[in-house]
Amino acid sequence: MTNSRAERELALDFLRVTEAAAIESAKTMGQGDRKHSDHVAVEAMREVMDSVPMRGRIVIGEGERDEAPMLYIGEEVGGGNFSDEARAEFPEVDIAVDPLEGTNLCALGANNAIAVLAASERGGLLNAPDIYMDKIIVGPSCKGAVDIEAPVADNLKNIARRLGRDVEDLTVICLDRPRHKQLVADVRAAGARIRLISDGDLSAGISAAVAGTNIHALMGIGGAPEGVITAAAMKCLNGEILAKFVFDPERLGVDRTKVPPKEEAIERIKGMGITDPDKIYDTNDLAPGRKVIFAATGVTDGSLLRGVRFFGEGKRTHSVVMTTDNKSIRFVDTVHVEGGPDAVIRF
């Protein structure tokens, strides 16, 4: 991205992109078909993305080219309606998308499904493959106070000290998975409270970085792509994510057939330019971009964003758009009017 004006304008374009994905997937809420919910989000996101004046490239998307028809890694997006001359002037942008984070949440009508996108200049987002990462995420007051390799009790003590409260006053958010049995036991033993969630560690991680959500840290193993997108949000929110790839199926507690063998996973990350599989990544390693844009729209109601509401003459969406450039966090409440010139707009 070349200048802050382009960045500001792109931020609003990306807002349209996540709004469109959220609206389409929200229409399928509760239908119990997570693949369909995801599919409509991908289609809507892809279509609006093409109208954005940029030379975009997907770095985190729906999968490799042969497995995803749209928004696959390496796909060029944007500038669809413009001439080649005009396109040549557009900023080059790397894009990470999760058109529907929490496909199960949407399929069940549960809280905290979002449509999300992060962007930066070329090379500004780690091209993480779809494997697992151990993560710890905290807000601005706790930056530098946590260590992903330290005992859970030590991290909680440090977070409590920084927040000027007792460990008992903290809430840790964590994916409800068998792999977190020990983590959950450790948090309980330390005295902190826990919120176990069925899905969606990206929106949960963002809550951990925003004061007033009553979430003080996210801990545990989730997707690496979600980790990169969370890092983009952390850059804008002054929060911190520390993360490490996890390859061991025993530790993941998942079906061996679902995760690639360690050697294969390591080869995969090497192919993406990642040389040290045991590296501890911080926010800047995951999202090194100097200019980062993050946009998310609520699909179902959540702790930070409301879900899409439908009414006779339109729809209403709730989103957050943030940029590193002017350090603004915009919560955007949009009414999409459809009922023609006489449609009534309600406050």
**Minimum Å distance from CB 111 to ligand VTB?**
13
Q: Least distance to ligand VTB from the beta carbon of 130, Å?
A: 8
Interacting positions 225-254 with ligand VTB (CB under 6 A): 226
User: Is residue 201 a contact point for ligand VTB (CB under 6 A)?
Assistant: yes
| Contact call for residue 223 and ligand VTB (CB under 6 A) | yes
Nearer to ligand VTB, 13 or 62 (CB): 62
Per-residue buried b or exposed e for 198-230, using 16+ beta carbons within 10 Å of the residue's own CB? ebbbbbbbbbbbbeebebbbbbbbbbbbbbbbb
Q: DSSP label at 170?
A: -
CB of 197 to ligand VTB, least distance (A): 8
Of 2-31, binders to ligand VTB (CB under 6 A) are none
Helix (H, G, I), strand (E, B) or coil at 237: helix
User: Which residue stretch of 11-19, 54-62, 193-201, 233-241 sits at the interface with ligand VTB (rule: CB under 6 A)?
Assistant: 193-201
Alpha helices in the chain (DSSP H): 4-27, 34-49, 84-89, 103-108, 152-163, 181-190, 201-208, 224-237, 249-252, 262-271, 283-286
91 lies in the binding site for ligand VTB (CB under 6 A): no
**40 near ligand VTB, rule: CB under 6 A:** no
* CA–CA distance, 101 with 233 (Å, rounded to integer): 14
DSSP H helical segments within 110-169, as ranges? 152-163
Q: Which of 78, 91, 124, 200 binds ligand VTB (CB under 6 A)?
A: 200
Residue span binding ligand VTB (CB under 6 A) among the ranges 19-27, 70-78, 118-126, 199-207: 199-207
Q: 10 Å Cβ neighbour count for 106?
A: 34
The span of 18-26, 137-145, 200-208, 322-330 binding ligand VTB (CB under 6 A) equals: 200-208
Part in contact with ligand VTB (CB under 6 A); list of ranges 194-202, 288-296, 315-323, 333-341: 194-202
The CA distance from 288 to 205, in Å, is 18
* Choices 58-66, 195-203, 234-242, 313-321; region in contact with ligand VTB by CB under 6 A: 195-203
143: tokens are 């930056």
Q: How far is the CB of 222 from ligand VTB (least distance, A)?
A: 3
- Selected binder of ligand VTB within 172, 202, 229, 305 (CB under 6 A): 202
Taking the least distance from each CB to ligand VTB, the nearer of 91 and 222 is 222
DSSP 31: S
Q: Does 38 bind ligand VTB (CB under 6 A)?
A: no
- Distance CA(274)–CA(263), nearest Å, equals 14
- How would you write 294-329 as a 3-class SS string? EEEEECCCCCCCCCCEEECCEEEEEEEEEECCCCEE
Among positions 222, 249, 298, 307, the unique one binding ligand VTB when judged by CB under 6 A: 222
- Is 102 near ligand VTB (CB under 6 A)? yes
Residues 66, 57: Cα–Cα separation, whole Å:
17
- Answer yes or no whether residue 206 interacts with ligand VTB by CB under 6 A: no
Total of chain residues touching ligand VTB, rule CB under 6 A: 11
Q: Is residue 99 part of the contact set for ligand VTB (CB under 6 A)?
A: no
| Ramachandran sector of residue 334 (left: φ over 0; alpha: ψ -120 to 50; beta: rest) | beta
Binding site for ligand VTB (CB under 6 A): 101-102, 175, 177, 199-202, 222-223, 226
